[in-house]
Structure 1
Amino acid sequence: MAKFKKKYEEVEAFKLGYDVEPKWFIENDRVCNFMEEKCIGGNVSCDLKTLEGIMRANKGDYIIQGVKGEIYPCKADIFEMTYEKVEYRRKNKLSTEMTLDSTNFQENIKKARKELDLFIQTLEKANDKVDKLTEKMNKYACKVDIDKIVKQLGECLRESIE
């Protein structure tokens, strides 16, 4: 018998009774009989009109919005075996921590300027490497793994900053 692996897909989901209900859930006309008891440890449940018929979701179940906007419930244990959380990082945002010694402000400025100059030099070197790779790629009409190159440049940057 053949084996199959789930294709990569991103879905939006929340844990009923634990997470804040997103707008796509609250404003969805497929959600009916939504009940939430406001007491400590209260029950939460709702019925969802799915492609397979009406399904009940209880507290602790995940409510998933699929790639076509469809919604359906999923038991927590199955959800956690099937999906992993996607973490997004903001692109092009740098964060550094700097401790300033108030006794010698001018010295702090010099150190900060030196660090910034080093960082700028590192960025310029990285830019030069990308330009050279682009030239080679165009010259030889070869395929280049851009993700690998970006990862290597990121490592070089981290090493230079440290």
Structure 2
Amino acid sequence: MRNDENKSVRAFRMGMDCRPDWFMDEVTANKVITYAKNKSDGPFEFMETYADIITENGIIRANYGDYIIKVRGRMHVLDPARLIFKKARKDINL
């Protein structure tokens, strides 16, 4: 990995964005396990996708819609609802 790649932040939303190559490399290396299951048996099938990310500290679950980010070679999971709340708190100085 190049030094400049190590400094960049990469992100996507689980189940909403296309899975980037860096994420699929982690799947291939068995550092991430992805899952997909049907939410309903009706005429409009919706897939629930999620992933388990294996880290030094244990397994982190990334649910549908969560942001998966990679910073300095490490992956993290961020819930978008928490991000919006933090921004709102900052905007109103709580």
Q: Give me the TM-score of the superposition, normalised by structure 2.
A: 0.63
Structure 2 letter corresponding to 1:55 = I
Matches within 5 A, 1:22-101: 22-28=20-26, 29=29, 30-32=31-33, 34-37=34-37, 40-66=45-71, 68-80=72-84, 81=86
Q: State the distance in 1 between where 2:8 and 2:49 align.
A: 26
What SS does structure 2 have at the residue aligned with 1:43?
A: strand
Q: Secondary structure at the match of 1:20?
A: coil
Q: Deviations over 1:29-85 (max 9, x none)?
A: 3212x112477321001100124311111101111111x111121111234546xxx
Aligned sequence identity (%): 31
Structure 2 gaps, min length 5: 1-6, 39-43, 88-94
CA contact (8 A) 1:62 1:79 kept: no
What is the TM-score normalised by the length of structure 1? 0.39
For the aligned residues, what is the CA RMSD? Answer: 2.3
Task: Structure 1: state its 5+ residue gaps.
Answer: 1-8, 83-162
For 2:58, the aligned partner's letter is: G
Larger radius of gyration: 1
Aligned residues between the structures: 72
Deviation beyond 4 Å, 4+ runs, structure 1: none
Query: Which has a greater percent of helix?
Result: 1
- Larger relative contact order (Cα-Cα within 8 Å, sequence gap ≥ 6): 2
Compute the displacement of 1:22 (Å).
0.3
Mapped partners of 2:70, 2:32: distance in 1: 12
